[in-house]
Amino acid sequence: MIRKLLLSAAALVCAVLTSQAKADGFQILFAGPGVSGSLFLTYGAATDAKYPGAFEVTGISGTFTDTNNGLNIVDASILGLVPITHDTPEVTNLLAPADFSRFAVATGLGPENNGFLTFDNLLWPGGAPQTASDYPASGGFVDIYGLMFDIGNGQVVDFWSNGTFVPGGPFDYGVAVATSAEALDYTGGVGLAPEPSSLVMLATGALGVGGMVRRRLARPV
């Protein structure tokens, strides 16, 4: 009887993970110096044309807070994703995803950013690999380009992973707030709260449905 129960449980977990991988939601909670957010992402079966392990995020909701640099953004509602633009990365960057995109910012970014924030709106449930030829770090539920979303008043937020240079090593995330006219904040040292594992994240989301289941400042351009 115990063996049958264990086999049934294993089958249920497999079904749960398969269902979650095809279409469901994904929760990310983060906090760092002056910033915090609660993101709920939706995605389907579509993946980046170059990386089958990267799911294209189709929707986002939640709240975002940033009190750095005199900003008074407190629990601002996330209004939606900034659409990807399929820009061409630098010719030396052979590892950028097909969904690589840029958001032009007129002033306030470091010279290494070349006037752009980069994003691709991809979710990596198994952890992001190296996605820039000149930046070997990897890891995170988003990659070093990350998600970009709209919070109104012309302001967008970029949320990315800085990855780690050592397999299994610690890493953090980064957050930038900007308008097309200027960068308002650029913060590293952001952590997930709590730090989830991909298995726990996937299984928890699916069970909730079935139960009723700093990237570096020199950002690749």
Position 219 confidence tier, pLDDT thresholds 50, 70, 90: low
- What's the N-to-C CA distance of the chain in angstroms? 58
The size of the chain, in residues, is 221
- For the segment 45-55, what is each residue's pLDDT rounded down to a tens digit? 999 999 999 99
- For the segment 200-216, what is each residue's pLDDT rounded down to a tens digit? 444 333 333 333 323 44
The CA-atom distances, in angstroms, between 146 and each of 3, 69, 99, 192, 206 are 43, 22, 11, 14, 24
Strands (E), the chain: 24-32, 35-47, 55-66, 73-77, 80-81, 101-104, 116-119, 122-123, 147-152, 155-161, 173-178, 183-192
The CA dihedral of 164, 63, 147, 215, to the nearest 10 degrees, is -30
Position 143 confidence tier, pLDDT thresholds 50, 70, 90: very high
- For the segment 179-194, what is each residue's pLDDT rounded down to a tens digit? 999 999 999 999 998 7
Task: Count H helices and E strands in the chain, helices first.
Answer: 2, 12
Average pLDDT over residues 125-151: 97
Average pLDDT over residues 147-158: 98
Residue 47 near residue 55 (C-beta atoms within 8 A): yes
pLDDT at position 107 is 97
Q: What are the boundaries of each domain within the chain?
A: 2-210
Average pLDDT over residues 91-112: 97
